[in-house]
């Protein structure tokens, strides 16, 4: 377990990462599928697993249901570089930040990076809210149930058991 010392600290240049994908504006299914293809074609990033898509009730201000999913990436870049790639893809799809937790065309969150714990101004790993989000834990448990959260020491499958998953519905196809 490596504690990041901000930008000056030890930062890995490769690893396995888990990301969350979400969208509740536009043609969400196409947007999410396309963003995964772009990620897989990005130098230093390979998509090695993806979950089913889930229709999820919005957490936060009233807004349309989301389409959510998770993916596992093998990366040859640092966590900070990975975040930059994720933000660039969001911008490519025209994501503009308005109200916090408001509706968005595309949201790509960096959930986990091996067993890294990193706390910088722009990047916190593990994602600070993932443990309480069924819209993250259900798809993530589908593809990585045994990944251990380096802060709680619990497996993803166990974390999922601890939240109310009633607002998360798997899309079959």
126 versus 160: smaller Cβ distance to ligand ATP: 126
| Residue with the two structure tokens 């798997």 | 170
CB 31 within 8 A of CB 105: yes
CB 137 within 8 A of CB 159: yes
Q: How far is the CB of 138 from ligand ATP (least distance, A)?
A: 16
Q: How far is the CB of 173 from ligand ATP (least distance, A)?
A: 27
Q: How far is the CB of 39 from ligand ATP (least distance, A)?
A: 14
- In the DSSP assignment, the letter for residue 163 is S
Q: Which of 66, 93, 113, 147 binds ligand PH2 (CB under 6 A)?
A: 66
Build a one-symbol-per-residue string for 19-58: x at contacts with ligand PH2 by CB under 6 A, - elsewhere: ---x---------------------------------xxx
Catalytic residues: 95, 104, 107, 109
Strands (E), 57-173: 66-75, 107-113, 118-119, 124-125, 168-170
Alpha helices in 15-133 (DSSP H): 28-40, 79-92
Residues near ligand PH2 (CB under 6 A) are 22, 56-60, 66, 68, 101, 107, 135
């Amino acid at each position: 377990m490596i504690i990041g010392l901000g930008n000056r600290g030890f930062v890995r240049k490769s690893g396995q990462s888990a990301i969350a994908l979400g969208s509740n504006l536009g043609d969400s299914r196409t947007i999410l599928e396309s963003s995964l293809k772009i990620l897989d074609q990005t130098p230093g990033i390979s998509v090695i697993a993806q979950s089913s898509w889930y229709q999820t009730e919005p957490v936060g201000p009233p807004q349309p249901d989301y389409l959510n999913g998770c993916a596992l990436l093998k990366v040859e870049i640092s966590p900070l570089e990975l975040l930059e790639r994720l933000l660039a893809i969001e911008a490519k799809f025209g994501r503009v930040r308005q109200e916090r937790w408001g509706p968005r065309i595309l949201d790509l969150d960096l959930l986990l990076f091996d067993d890294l714990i990193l706390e910088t101004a722009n990047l916190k790993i593990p994602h600070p809210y993932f443990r309480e989000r069924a819209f993250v834990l259900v798809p993530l448990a589908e593809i990585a149930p045994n990944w251990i959260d380096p802060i709680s020491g619990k497996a993803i499958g166990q974390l999922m058991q601890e939240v109310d998953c009633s607002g998360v519905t798997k899309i079959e196809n």
